[in-house]
Structure 1
Amino acid sequence: MSESDATARRRQRTIFWVVTLSTIALVFDGYDLVIYGTILPTLLADPGQLGAITPGQGGAIGSYALVGVLVGALAAGSLGDWIGRRRIMLINLAWFSVGMGVTALTRDVTAFGIGRFVTGIGVGALVATVGALVAEFAPAGQRNRLNAIVYSGVPAGGVLAALLAIVLTDAVGWRGLFWVGALPIVLVLPLAVLKLPESPKWLASRGRFEQAKTLAERTGTTLPSASMEPPGGTRTGFPALATKALGWPTVLLGLMSFAGLLLTYGLNTWLPKIMNDNSYGKSYSLTFLLVLNLGAILGGMAASLWADRAGAKRVVATTFVMAACTLAMLPLSLPLGALLLAVAVAGVGTIGTQVLIYGLVSNYYPTRARAAGVAWCAGFGRLGGIVGPVIGGVLIGAGLGGTTAFYVFAAVAAIAAVVTLTVPRAHQTEEELPVVASTADGPHPEQASAGR
């Protein structure tokens, strides 16, 4: 076996473990974010579980996890560019698992709410970190594809939560479902300790060049030239985002994520209710949600392949337009088959688009600001995740009906498409560019894909 073949095999093995462990982590994140909704009817109906809970309190408790996600994402952004991606991943796999286990042991509403908030911190930190980690190991022509695989773990975890709730609730109760969410500390964390490497690019960005070189050789990773200074100069983390080169793009990318998560949480919360009000029976509720999320997973993967060729920005703008069109169609009297197709496409344009946004953001920033950039978009976007369900609730509570909610969501998607098109092209330097040969027609297309 030649040295180049051995290096390629080491690189493939490293990418496999990075992508696999990151995906599994986000599957459990998606599980956590959805499992509360599956047990809420039990908590509302049976005061013997945690005490009497009103619907208003139930909704507030649901938001505690989202606030925790915001805190966790911003904390990971502050620390991830300073202490490394691997440490953040390992710490928060344990944090998240302990949070789920502690929540399973709670006996009153206050303790349960605190448990949800603490668990959310771990969720947010993982969501904000895996994008930076994957971007720094993925080959240039596969970055959007691998990010899509990893972030599709979130809707996949949601599907898993819904299915396990149906199958296991009678056998293990709601506490047992939370213990399932605590499994990463025994099933995933030990494997991550053994198999998850630190990013050589991050080590190099911190001036630890000998360690970076040694780790790059062991993992088969190529270290690009560091002779050019990346955007943000010598600033690291959030301070780099405030520089002239990155300030305006950071605002626009945050707005894109805000819109994507507003649509994601708004639809996941209100789609069953709205469709039920439009004369579809309750039996269709799970079907519509499954179609929405499966459409996001499959369509998001297909869109990520396109993004690796045409550029993520162009594809995100297109999928936002797809969301605007299909959301405007959902109130129409469509045949059931056409309606399900429209819901699937809406899943691509909302949840699937958010997956693509994470990929775009992960590849937009230089190494020294990457964790902060992803954390900013995950954290600020989470505010959209809080606003989305509120918009639906206000419109429906005001008697305006689900039709108006769909039109409002469609307008948000259309505005987000325009915002996406205004994002400046990513400034790439020798530090960030992969080492690839130029072609007769100019630079290899992989070098220009991240910010188009």
Structure 2
Amino acid sequence: MPENTLAASRLGLDDARRRRSITWVVALSTLALVFDGYDLVVYGTVVPTLLADPNQLGRLSPSQAGALGSYALVGVLIGALTAGAVGDWIGRRRVMLVGLAWFSIGMGATALTTSVQTFGFFRLLTGIGVGALVATVGALVAEFAPAGRRNVLNAVVYSGVPAGGVLAAVVALVMPDAAGWRPLFWIGAAPIVLLLPVALVRLPESPKWLVARGRFEQAQAQSRRTGIPLPTLSAPLPTTLSTTAPAGARHVGFGALARSPLAWPTLLLGTMSFGGLLLTYGLNTWLPKIMQDNGFGKSYSMTFLLVLNLGAIVGGLLASRVADRVGAKSVVASTFVLAALTLALLPFRLPAAALLLAVAVAGVGTIGTQVLIYGLVSNYYPTRARAAGVAWCAGFGRLGGIVGPVIGGALVGAGVGGTTAFYVFAVVSLLGALVTWLLPQSRHEEAAAAATVPAAEAASTVAV
């Protein structure tokens, strides 16, 4: 067989392996985040029941319910920061597998609770697994996605969060009232039997992460197995990390985030995520209750929750395509502004069709914006700090997720929840847009640098 034919055959085989690897990474990551989104919204669907019936867990006030909803987010903060601390050292695959098992066990345990205290404890425990997943999948997908499709594939994966919200809303709508709230949490434990076994077999480790850790032989083997190309070098891969790499490039994980040139962007990206998750969790937790207080029945208020998350999925995917063309920064700033405008409209007595449309667009500007932020963050950092960067934004951002439900609970408890909460969320959106515009352009140009690095600089390139 001619040499050029053999080369073409090998290239075609590599392309097929790469597509298959990317498909498995994206599919498994998306399904993992579907259950994150399910966990996010399922609590909001049971809040009215827990408030109305003290026989479930005990007597709850609206402010207590808001605080209880935040326990899972404290766990997410712990899980995300822990995953970020170890993810750039032990790898993306291990953290993701542990997160799936941990999350599932927490959801099953929550279904068995009989008191407010144990419910809150297991919500916190569940959140640790959720945090590990959210902080890991962005780094994993960014290292498998081809250049020019990173925002789209990140949007597909993180759209799993609102998709899980849709699933929770649909299940809550069709679940018979007699079944109670516990089956909703048993459904959330399904990943340990449905998803974890598949991930054990099909989820690969990132070849780029292996290179960044100096495990070059394993990286080459994994590259051949997955079809994911390594940085193009004009010299053989070294056997050890270079000691002549720039000082900043020798720092890994959170150590790199605390130093120039990443420190200031990391602060801004964390603040953006804080705002995005404040909006996401605040609306998902309290939108059904606010709409019920405004005269809408249970089914109608759950429909608003469904429309909010559907709007986030569709709008987030469309916006991500624009982000791959013009850059994620300007798109994120625009969707923050869009959220402010629509949230300011929600307190008005709009016709039903217009109100549903406004809720859908608000979903694009709130939950959809957070999807775009994860894509921006995942592609902003170099490999050596990517897991830590995503973890920081997911973890610090969840502080906003803690604040959102608490604000909603305080306002609902004061009897001014509907109008005032929407205006507060609109102001947060405008501040998010302002912070986004302050973000400097990323200095990380991984694809371009890998394609042009000279032989003399090969060692320092693979070290980053």
Q: Structure 1 length as normaliser, TM-score?
A: 0.90
Cα distance in 1, alignment partners of residues 61 and 419 from structure 2: 28
Among 11, 25, 36, the residue aligned to 2:32? 25
1:239-263, CA deviations, whole angstroms, 9 ceiling, x for partnerless residues?
1100110000000001110111111
In the TM superposition, what is the alpha-carbon distance from 1:345 to its structure 2 partner?
Answer: 1.3
CA apart distance, 1:210:
1.1
Please tell me the residue identity of whatever aligns with 2:134: V
Secondary structure of 1:325 counterpart: helix
Out of 117, 120, 126, which is 2:133 matched to?
126
Contact 1:43 1:50 survives alignment (8 Å):
yes
Structure 1 residue corresponding to 2:271, chosen from 241, 255, 273: 255
276 and 198 in structure 1: CA distance in 2 versus 1, 3 angstrom threshold = same
Q: Choose which of 375, 392, 396 in structure 1 pairs with 2:408.
A: 392
Q: Is the counterpart of residue 298 in structure 1 residue 314 in structure 2?
A: yes
Give 2:282's aligned residue.
266
**Alignment-derived partner of residue 112 in structure 2:** 105
Q: How many Å separate the matches in 2 of 1:65 and 1:364?
A: 27
- Paired residues, what number? 436
Distance 1:162 1:434, change over 3 A: farther
- The residue aligned with 2:436 is 420
Matched, 1:135 2:151: no
> Which of 68, 78, 96 does residue 85 from structure 2 map onto?
78
Alignment match, 2:327:
311
Residue 377 (structure 1) aligned to one of 377, 383, 393: 393
CA contact (8 A) 1:225 1:430 kept: no
Distance in 2 (alpha carbons) for counterparts of 1:420 and 1:216: 36
Offset of 1:49 from its aligned partner?
A: 4.4
**1:246 counterpart residue number:** 262
Q: Letter of the aligned partner of 2:29 in structure 1?
A: S
* Change beyond 3 A, Cα 1:49–1:289: closer
Measured in 2, the distance between the counterparts of 1:12 and 1:95 equals 29
Q: Deviations over 1:69-98 (max 9, x none)?
A: 111011111010010000000111111111
Structure-2 change in CA distance of 1:187 and 1:274 (3 Å) = closer
CA distance in 2 between partners of 1:232 and 1:272 (Å): 48
Secondary structure of the residue that 2:278 maps to in structure 1?
helix
Q: In the alignment, what sits opposite 2:362?
A: 346
Q: 1:39 to 1:337 in 2, by over 3 A?
A: closer
Q: Secondary structure at the match of 2:350?
A: coil
SS at match of 2:248: coil
| Structure 1 residue 13, shift from structure 2 partner | 0.1
Check conservation: 1:97, 1:183, Cα contact below 8 A: yes
Match of 1:91 in 2: 98
State the match for 1:334 in structure 2. Answer: 350
Residue aligning to 1:445:
none
Describe the shift of the 1:402–1:63 C-alpha distance in structure 2 as closer, same or farther (beyond 3 A).
Answer: same
Which residue pairs with 2:9 in the alignment? Answer: 2
Instruction: Note if contact 1:229-1:429 (Cα within 8 Å) is conserved in structure 2.
Output: no
Which residue type is aligned with residue 363 of structure 1? N
Greater Cα shift, 426-435 or 201-210: 426-435
Q: Return the alpha-carbon distance in structure 1 between the equivalents of residues 266 and 400 of structure 2.
A: 16
Deviation at 1:350, TM superposition (A): 0.7
Partners of 2:340 and 2:121 in 1: CA distance: 37
Alignment map for 1:353-368 (pairs within 5 Å): 353-368=369-384
CA 1:49/1:335 → structure 2, altered by over 3 Å: closer, same or farther?
Answer: closer
Alignment of 1:115 onto 2:131:
no
Residue type of the partner of 1:66? L
SS at match of 2:441: coil
The aligned amino acid for 2:395 is G
Segment drifting more, 212-221 vs 262-271: 262-271
Q: Please give the alpha-carbon distance, in whole angstroms, between the structure 2 residues aligned to 1:24 and 1:367.
A: 24
Partner of 1:167: 174
CA 1:387–1:52 in structure 2 vs 1: closer, same or farther (change >3 Å)? Answer: closer
Larger RCO: 1 or 2 (CA < 8 Å, sep 6+): 2
Conservation of the 8 A alpha-carbon contact between 2:66 and 2:408: no
The corresponding residue for 1:407 is 423
Q: What secondary structure does 1:141 align onto?
A: coil
Q: Does the aligned pair in 1 maintain the 2:17–2:227 contact within 8 Å?
A: yes
- 1:405-439: per-residue Cα shift (whole Å, max 9, x none)? 32222222112112111111111245775649xxx
Question: Retained in 2: the 8 A contact 1:366–1:432?
Answer: no
Matches within 5 A, 1:221-236: 221-225=228-232, 232-236=248-252
Quick check: 1:200–1:216 contact (8 Å CA) kept in 2? yes
Separation in 2, partners of 1:231, 1:146: 32
Distance in 1 (CA, whole Å) between partners of 2:268 and 2:161 is: 23
Aligned residue in 1 for 2:305:
289
Q: Which 5+ residue runs of structure 2 have no aligned equivalent?
A: 1-7, 234-241, 453-464
- Structure 1 residues 229 and 257, CA, compared in 2 at 3 Å: closer, same or farther? farther
Aligned residue type for 1:142: R
8 Å Cα contact 1:134/1:147 also seen in 2? yes
Scaled by the length of structure 2, the TM-score of the pair is 0.87
Q: Cα gap change, 1:430/1:382 in structure 2, threshold over 3 Å: closer, same or farther?
A: closer
- Cα distance change on mapping 1:168 and 1:299 into 2, 3 Å: same
Alignment match, 2:236: none
1:334 is displaced (CA, Å) by 3.2
CA shift for structure 1 position 276: 4.8
- Give the corresponding residue for 1:38: 45
CA displacement 1:154-212 (0-9 Å, x = unmatched): 11111111222233355754333322211111111111011000001111000111111
Assess if the C-alpha contact under 8 Å between 2:173 and 2:302 holds in 1.
no
Q: Take 2:194 and 2:291, find their aligned partners in 1: how far apart are those partners?
A: 39
Alignment RMSD: 2.4
- Cα distance between partner residues in 1 of 2:449 and 2:303: 44
Counterpart of 2:85 in structure 1: which amino acid?
A: S
Structure 1 residue 330 displacement after superposition: 2.4
CA deviation profile, 1:240-289 (whole Å, cap 9, x unmatched): 10011000000000111011111112222333444455555555312222
* Cross-structure match for 1:151: 158
- Structure 1 residues 5-14 or 107-116, which shifts more? 107-116
Amino acid at match of 1:207: G
CA distance in 1, matches of 2:120, 2:156: 31
